[in-house]
Amino acid sequence: MLELLKQPMPWYVAGPLIGLLVPALLLLGNKHFGISSSFRHICAACVPAKIPFFKYNWKKEMWNLFLVAGIVIGAFITQKYFSNNEPVQISESTKQLLQSWHITDFSGLMPMDIFGTAQILSLKGLIFMVIGGFLVGFGTRYAGGCTSGHSIMGLSNLQFSSLIATCGFMLGGILMSNFILPYIFKLF
């Protein structure tokens, strides 16, 4: 059993399990699955600065902060006790593409060439973590949700607006990854 849990999870197991989080949260307490709102609750709790968008009773949404704290803990436990220490099984064509971008380290979940702590104060850190993170926080709130809130919860509830948002996420990602990233990697 432990060996089985250590194996990478195929899509047809992971996807349905994530889908089941939708009814789980609805039935546990009428909660709508979503993650990006946690950023808003953190703003509301820490630096509301009299901005109307952050003036609400964030304590009522505290469940969301418990949910994201759980993700951190769950990921920690998984990496520590259920890891098989194998590289990510990406396709050969992706590997070749990334090598052409001078990415050399394929041993972990993330390329340490970009996301190592040594990169924090470099140009890579500025582009991939500081600017990238800002776009994630700004964009998700502007769109009113992220992959969980729109693409999974919203589409499960047949919301047209969530379909538009999901198309936006995909189009933005495709444009960045195919047409902008190759130029960014020429900077290094």
Partner 1 sequence: MQNQEYKMKDENTDFEVRSLDTMCTNESELNHPWWYNFKYLLVGILFGFILIKSEVVSWFRIQEMFHFQAFHMYGIIGSAVVVGLISVFLIKKFKIKTIHQESVDLHTKPFNKGQIFGGLIFGFGWALTGACPGPIYAQIGAGFLAVIVTILSAIVGTWVYGLIREKLPH
Q: Which residue in the set 102, 123, 171, 188 belongs to the binding site for partner 1 (CB under 8 A)? A: 171
Q: Is 79 in the site for partner 1 (CB under 8 A)?
A: yes
Q: Which residue in the set 1, 2, 3, 27 belongs to the binding site for partner 1 (CB under 8 A)? A: 27
Q: Is 45 in the site for partner 1 (CB under 8 A)?
A: no
Q: What is d(CA 118, CA 5) in angstroms, rounded to the nearest whole number? A: 32
Please state the closest distance from residue 31 (CB atom) to partner 1, in A.
6
Q: Which residue in the set 1, 158, 183, 186 belongs to the binding site for partner 1 (CB under 8 A)? A: 158
Q: Which residue in the set 57, 85, 183, 186 belongs to the binding site for partner 1 (CB under 8 A)? A: 57
Q: Is 106 in the site for partner 1 (CB under 8 A)?
A: yes
Q: What is d(CA 81, CA 100) in angstroms, rounded to the nearest whole number? A: 34
Q: Which long-range contacts (CB under 8 A, 24 or more apart) does 123-131 make?
A: 123/187, 123/188, 124/188, 127/184, 127/187
Q: What is d(CA 76, CA 52) in angstroms, rounded to the nearest whole number? A: 36
Positions in 1-20 near partner 1 (CB under 8 A): 5, 7-20
Report whether 34 contacts 146 (CB < 8 A). Answer: yes
Q: Is 188 in the site for partner 1 (CB under 8 A)?
A: no
Q: Which residue in the set 99, 123, 136, 185 belongs to the binding site for partner 1 (CB under 8 A)? A: 136
User: In 3D, which of 6, 39, 56 has the Cα closest to residue 148?
Assistant: 39
Please state the closest distance from residue 1 (CB atom) to partner 1, in A.
14
Positions in 107-126 near partner 1 (CB under 8 A): 109-111, 114-117, 119-120, 125
Q: What is d(CA 113, CA 95) in angstroms, rounded to the nearest whole number? A: 14
